[in-house]
Chains A and B, each alone.
Chain A
């Protein structure tokens, strides 16, 4: 859902879209060239166990839930737990409450979601794929955070080892998770 929007949106900026589930976006933040690889993973429960194959090398994840669907929010919580367990603090998390255009039907209270995000060290965003709300910000903020984290790690490593390896980490992978199939059905139109 977000992905679809991202795809369309990024297409305007001459981004090669080779596949619907995989996107590459080149960004320039603070004079550094960044290549953002965005992977969509299957959110269905039956594939849950296979998640690690997808996300083990990633630097960040966006977990999307549907604000009208309490269940999808619970699934985001599961994902957060799993990602934290598997990747520790190395991964940057963003949580996106999607479909804010349907605020009337909201089932996940804003405070609850934001509080939860804060508690797990994630940043919460309100998005609407349909109306293109908050998506650019979501990706930009996450990318910046991933860069900071990568630089901090590098610095740490450099301090630990006297000989520094100046290889810049400019490949950033974002895992994009669509928590539940019902999340997306009504927004596709």
Chain B
């Protein structure tokens, strides 16, 4: 019926086991390999199974660089067998919590009963989550329809800017969370304790990721790739990564990285996982883990009383990006930035991780394979010549005597010196335009132009 919501896909193994001492003979373990999609929808207990509570454990095994890692085994209860046609227990696909749900006939008719019933057996998150998922599938509430419509509308626009799409998604998810809460406020207030109630939004957020972000992930990636290919950002990053691989000295690694080859695999595997998962929260989690591993690796390598700061971590992080050839780094960063809630981004650690990633990307984009990276001391001397409404601009990069760029740019009469600076900065790829300014040099006397001065007007007056 609604398989997509509950399908569990990935390139890993999924294990399920039922734990019950009385049921030693009834042990179900499913292990699948080399299939793109896994769908584990029901556990069917035979009618002969005793009427007791069972526990179901679900865990995943990932393969990273020939190493098998496993998620924590989660055990949750499922309800007793009703002795009828066999109890069908539905499992959700969340990797952390297994949500068994009672699949009964009343369920589709009455929302309250299964909610309460499930709650008796399940952990905190499960009832809210299953309830929200159920809302999504029951058309009557309008919730599922809204989600479907939003997704199809978003998919229709093939040329939209990813930033706008993400902000729409963010807005929609926040709105839908409020909708679900408003719709069921009474219900939740009655059945949940205050702590549970506080977690409500966080749980619904994850539900929204699954309902909204997952179906749109591929679409969003496509938009990103299109946009960044158009702007050349992807090519630039790819080119510079290739260059940086041969010139590690340009990244500023101050210690021997070779000694940390082992941790490299681990860090890369986190970054790989970051690209695979769809939920921005999980992506952030992977990013955090990768930075944590870097901190550990740096501590081992530096061997200086266990101390390490941003001066060591940032270069190493950049080096990891270079080594893993993560061309999509910028997309990943923007994806998280666009889809995470503001309250999440305001959390210091999340913000810091994202900033580190963004900085690494910006740095990689700023290094220039044909020249040495532009440093702060680089002073750009501009010589401006008037050719009608165009200006010929000669850019001299002070510390590299052999590189002179001549650009002819269109400078409209009403453009301010600030506008011109921004334009030049874009053309010559400086990442710190604020450190540059236009100067006017008359008879050797140098005066800095005010941000609001118009270069064309000044030229006319000379």
B119 within 8 A of A: no
Q: Is the CB of A50 within 8 A of B295?
A: no
Residue on B with the closest CB to A171? Answer: B346
- Total interface residues in chain A, CB < 8 Å: 38
**CB closest residue in chain A, given B366:** A49
A41-65 vs B, Cβ < 8 Å mask (1 yes, 0 no): 1111111111011100100000000
CB atoms of B348 and A43 under 8 A apart: no
Please tell me which stretch of A13-21, A97-105, A147-155, A159-167 contacts chain B, meaning at least 4 of its Cβ atoms lie within 8 angstroms of it.
A13-21
Q: Which residues of A contact B346 (CB under 8 A)?
A: 171
Q: Decide yes or no whether B359 CB sits under 8 A from chain A.
A: yes
Decide: B373 and A46 in contact? CB cutoff 8 A. yes
Q: Is B234 an interface residue (CB 8 A)?
A: no
- CB-CB under 8 A from A78, the residues of chain B are 376
Query: With A46-B375, A188-B304 in contact, is A40–B291 under 8 Å at CB?
Result: no
A178's partner among B250, B311, B430 (CB-CB below 8 A) is B311
Q: Contact: B309 with A40, CB < 8 Å?
A: yes
CB-nearest residue of chain A to B305: A188
Interface centre among A44, A45, A47, A189 (most CB of B within 10 A): A47
B292 interface residue per 8 A CB criterion: yes
- Give the size of the chain B interface in residues (CB under 8 angstroms): 38
Closest-CB distance, B111 to chain A (whole angstroms): 36
With beta carbons under 8 angstroms apart, the residue of A18, A50, A185 that contacts B292 is: A18
A21 surroundings in chain B (CB, below 8 A): 295, 308-310, 313, 352
Interface string of B340-366 (1 = CB under 8 A from A): 000000101101100100110011001
21 sampled A-B residue pairs with Cβ under 8 A: A19-B291, A19-B349, A20-B295, A20-B307, A20-B308, A21-B308, A40-B309, A40-B310, A42-B313, A46-B250, A47-B359, A49-B366, A49-B435, A50-B359, A53-B359, A78-B376, A171-B346, A178-B311, A184-B311, A188-B304, A188-B305
Which residue numbers of A lie inside 8 Å of B, CB to CB? 1, 3-4, 18-22, 24, 35, 37, 39-50, 52-54, 57, 78, 85-86, 171, 173, 178, 181, 184-185, 188-189
B residues with CB within 8 A of A = 250, 252, 254, 288, 291-292, 295, 299, 304-305, 307-311, 313-315, 346, 348-349, 351-352, 355, 358-359, 362-363, 366, 373-376, 430-432, 434-435
